[in-house]
């Protein structure tokens, strides 16, 4: 056909030296783990092209068979330009010959589209920390080298109960078993060499500890031996020890978070060798929280392998005689609490699992992301990237979800929404909400398409993969609560948080971030609610409460607005919501989802299922659309309703303290911090600071930051300001006394140099005071705010009533105005 082409077909193609160099370079430093054989070579690509009948016919069409990057499914493009249409055939032959002969042009970095348009472009660069390949196995989780891991793959089916699962109703006759310990019992399961307080993470590997995995469970003496066989050395598992204290009674000890001596709440373990129609009792003996939802009807979760296989039944709430009580064994340290329950297994010789909540592992997340990457439609508007690597080397994934824009101006006009989950690894309910959100936003629903058209979604579905893998409840492998370290300068100790904050900081430089929401779980309160940050700006007064109020109207049987709180406490300054709020995101929230269930509407006194949590992810999307509706009727109605609710709350608090309701001025000038209840009921832990071994490093970095950005002078307290004012006033009076003739002449002219002791505002304030009320009084904060319709009589507050108190608060940044997107 073409002599030049036939000559080139006989030549041998050599591998690309640049690709070989980069492959060995990345493998040497441990960044790229794929095998060379799994990577398509440019030479093999060209051999495929040569043998292709489409190539032999001179046609350059689709070449999906030769493309390795399944995340993009793009076509090879050869960059060239035709000087004129008259020479098109000659140039095409020359181009074909050059494609095969030039070693510099044998790179897989050049792509071309489906229509053979000659618009050269480069393939997106490969991630330094490569994401998994859709044609290969998933990236195996990396464990600390101290952890033993069994080789079995644990998998559970998803299932929605046919009937509502109601709370357990205590009878008052529940047995409180006495804790006897291993001195009077038999240890049937116990983990060895678990790192605790005083040690720290050093290295990790796939599969955890080297060597042969020990058999920790007891050896059965025969078929009649009914001893249960326990196991928890799998992903997200947590059980430290099991002691048999009766024929069918076991005391269980949970493992603390690795490299700490606290945070025992999450449990997830397996039992085998069960007996049917026998009542077993399990008692967890080392819980740390004095209050728990187990005390008000929450049941543990159980999963039967035989039921899942035969009847397609998954996790379900089980348990009787449930009791949460204080441990009677005092070891001189912090008090411990116990959870006890009884249960009957459905089958003989079954394999069953128990868990604090529906497990959602790192492998579950990777399987979900793999399905998205393999979906040819979803992968067009959902880009999967590696945000960073965790301490153990596990990938922290970042999803960017938005529809392609037609013009750069349209892309720049999009606002951003940032969502994250699983910063606390034991709060698996946050992952199920995130899963529901992703299911909807990646669907072909018209609402989902509209959201993708007007927003850029940045989603981090699992902020703490290390903690999830090892079965921690609250901490990372640094032994610290990551949600208290968003202000950290220790990038190497807290990479997940450091990179998340910097990603959002860069995002704020590009576009407005309308919403930040971090999904969490709560172990002491039912329903779903948020913690936000109230704004002192008059321009945005109560605006941060509109989104939660809208969400409560969209999900009235799950979301409780009465449980929401917007107070910013000093101990929460390192949390994600407060740090992002300080950075300028007005609508910055922590969304708390209960481990229990609902006390609202049609779901009253029932446990939440996986489907309930996923539906909340949909409601979040629905509420974002309501929040940004160009018709601001809903927004305005919510603002008015919030003012009425707040007005009633002010009346209620003043009535509790016997204050007069007929006050002059504007009641809305009262600082919300004086009305808002404390968030002490939240699942919070005080920050332990940076790891002890890194205190000097943190101090040195902080000093560098201070020298680089000098800290502004701290605002004085009201007492300090009053003392300074009195001192300055006395000094002026002294000078006036010394220069009496001169000053008197000046006063006669009406030009007094010293301000009056009582300003007109203060006079107005004093005149407006009522007996028994002082401007500085702060009503006692209550944790249960019952907000209802506003009363008929509206109070008339003085604008200056809390002027002194308002000055006490730290200076707030001036945030950009809230722009409501108008659809074209």
| Measured distance CA(423)–CA(473) in Å, rounded | 10
**CA-based Rg of the chain, rounded to a whole angstrom?**
33
Least Cα distance to 425 among 361, 366, 365 occurs for 361
Place of tokens 């607005």: 561
Strands 316-317 and 382-389: unpaired
Place of tokens 């860069």: 506
Exactly one of 146, 592, 641, 676 is catalytic; name it: 592
Residues 6+ apart with CB under 8 A from 552: 559, 560, 561
In this structure, what DSSP letter does residue 38 have?
G
- Whether 343 and 248 have beta carbons less than 8 Å apart is answered as no
* E-only strand ranges, 552-647: 588-594, 597-598, 606-607
Q: 546-554 vs 610-627: helix axis angle to the nearest 10?
A: 130
- Whether 350 and 466 have beta carbons less than 8 Å apart is answered as no
**592 in active site:** yes
- Which residue(s) pair with 234 in the sheet? none
CA distances from 302 to 23, 57, 161, 316 (A): 47, 63, 13, 6
| Measured distance CA(669)–CA(801) in Å, rounded | 8
| Measured distance CA(346)–CA(276) in Å, rounded | 6
The dihedrals phi and psi of 782, each to the nearest 5 degrees, come to: -110, 150
CA distances from 554 to 610, 630, 661, 789, 817 (A): 18, 18, 35, 19, 26
| Measured distance CA(202)–CA(478) in Å, rounded | 10
3: tokens are: 């002599």
- Whether 683 and 524 have beta carbons less than 8 Å apart is answered as yes
Residue numbers annotated as active site: 592
């Amino acid at each position: 056909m073409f002599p030049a082409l036939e000559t080139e077909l006989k030549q041998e193609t050599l591998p690309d030296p640049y690709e070989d160099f980069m492959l060995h370079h990345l493998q040497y430093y441990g960044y790229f783990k794929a095998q060379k054989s799994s990577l398509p070579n440019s030479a093999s690509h060209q051999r495929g092209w040569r043998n292709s009948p489409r190539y032999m016919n001179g046609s350059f069409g689709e070449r999906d068979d030769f493309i390795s990057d399944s995340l993009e499914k793009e076509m090879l493009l050869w960059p060239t330009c035709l000087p004129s249409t008259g020479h098109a055939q000659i140039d095409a032959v020359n181009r074909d010959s050059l494609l095969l002969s030039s070693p510099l042009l044998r790179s897989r970095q050049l792509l071309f589209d489906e229509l053979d348009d000659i618009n050269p472009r480069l393939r997106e660069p490969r991630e330094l920390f490569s994401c998994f390949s859709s044609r290969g196995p998933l990236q195996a989780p990396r464990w600390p080298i101290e952890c033993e891991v069994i080789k079995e793959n644990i998998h559970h089916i998803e299932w929605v109960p046919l009937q509502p699962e109601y709370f357990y109703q205590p009878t008052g006759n529940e047995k409180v078993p006495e804790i006897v310990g291993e001195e009077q019992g038999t240890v049937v399961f116990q983990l060895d060499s678990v790192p605790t307080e005083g040690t720290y993470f050093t290295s990790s590997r796939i599969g955890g500890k080297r060597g042969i995995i020990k058999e920790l469970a007891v050896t059965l003496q025969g078929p009649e031996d009914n001893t249960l066989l326990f196991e928890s050395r799998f992903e997200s598992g947590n059980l430290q020890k099991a002691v048999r204290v009766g024929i069918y009674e076991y005391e269980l000890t949970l493992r603390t978070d690795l490299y700490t001596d606290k945070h025992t709440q999450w449990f997830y373990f397996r039992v085998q060798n069960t007996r049917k129609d026998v009542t077993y009792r399990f008692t967890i003996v080392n819980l740390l929280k004095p209050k728990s939802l187990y005390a008000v009807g929450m049941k543990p979760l159980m999963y039967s392998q035989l039921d899942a296989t035969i009847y397609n039944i998954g996790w379900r709430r089980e348990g009787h005689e449930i009791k949460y009580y204080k441990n009677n064994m005092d070891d001189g340290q912090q008090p411990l609490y116990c959870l006890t329950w009884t249960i009957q297994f459905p089958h003989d010789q079954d394999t069953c699992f128990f868990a604090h909540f529906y497990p959602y592992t790192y492998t579950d997340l990777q399987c979900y992301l793999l399905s998205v990457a393999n979906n040819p439609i979803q992968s067009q508007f959902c880009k999967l990237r590696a945000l960073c690597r965790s301490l153990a080397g596990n990938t922290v994934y970042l999803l960017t979800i938005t529809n392609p824009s037609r013009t750069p101006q349209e892309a720049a006009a999009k606002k951003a929404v940032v969502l994250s989950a699983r910063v606390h690894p034991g709060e698996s309910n946050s992952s199920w909400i995130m899963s529901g959100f992703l299911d909807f936003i990646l669907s072909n629903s018209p609402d989902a398409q509209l959201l993708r058209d007007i927003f850029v979604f940045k989603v981090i579905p699992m902020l703490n993969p290390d903690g999830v893998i090892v079965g921690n409840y609250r901490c990372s492998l640094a032994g610290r609560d990551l949600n208290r370290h968003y202000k950290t300068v220790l990038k190497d100790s807290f990479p997940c948080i450091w990179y998340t904050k910097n990603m959002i900081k860069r995002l704020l430089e590009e576009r407005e971030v309308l919403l930040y929401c971090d999904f969490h779980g709560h172990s002491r309160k039912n329903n779903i609610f948020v913690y936000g940050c109230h704004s002192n700006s008059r321009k945005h007064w109560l605006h941060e409460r509109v989104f939660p109020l809208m969400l409560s109207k969209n999900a009235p049987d799950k979301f409780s607005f009465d449980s929401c709180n917007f107070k910013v406490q000093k101990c929460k300054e390192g949390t994600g919501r407060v740090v992002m709020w300080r950075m300028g995101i007005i609508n910055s929230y922590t969304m708390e989802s209960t481990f229990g269930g609902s006390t609202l509407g049609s779901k009253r006194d029932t446990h939440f299922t996986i489907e309930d949590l996923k539906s909340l992810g949909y409601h979040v999307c629905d509420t974002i659309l309501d929040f940004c509706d160009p018709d601001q009727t809903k927004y305005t109605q919510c603002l008015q309703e919030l003012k009425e609710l707040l007005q009633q709350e002010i009346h209620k608090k003043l009535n509790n303290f016997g204050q007069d309701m007929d006050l002059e001025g504007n009641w809305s000038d009262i600082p919300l911090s004086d009305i808002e209840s404390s968030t002490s009921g939240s699942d919070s832990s005080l920050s332990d600071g940076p790891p002890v071994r890194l205190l000097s490093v943190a101090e040195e970095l902080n000093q560098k930051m201070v020298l680089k950005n000098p800290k502004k002078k701290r605002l004085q307290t009201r007492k300090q300001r009053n003392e300074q004012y009195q001192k300055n006033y006395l000094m002026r009076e002294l000078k006036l006394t010394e220069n009496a003739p001169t000053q008197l002449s000046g006063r006669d002219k009406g030009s007094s140099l010293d301000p009056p002791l009582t300003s007109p505002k203060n006079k107005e304030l004093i005149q407006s005071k009522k007996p028994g009320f002082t401007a500085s009084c702060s009503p006692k904060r209550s944790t249960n705010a019952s907000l209802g319709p506003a009363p008929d009589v509206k109070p008339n507050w003085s604008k200056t009533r809390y002027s002194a108190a308002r000055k006490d608060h730290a200076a707030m940044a001036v945030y950009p105005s809230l722009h409501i997107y108008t659809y074209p």
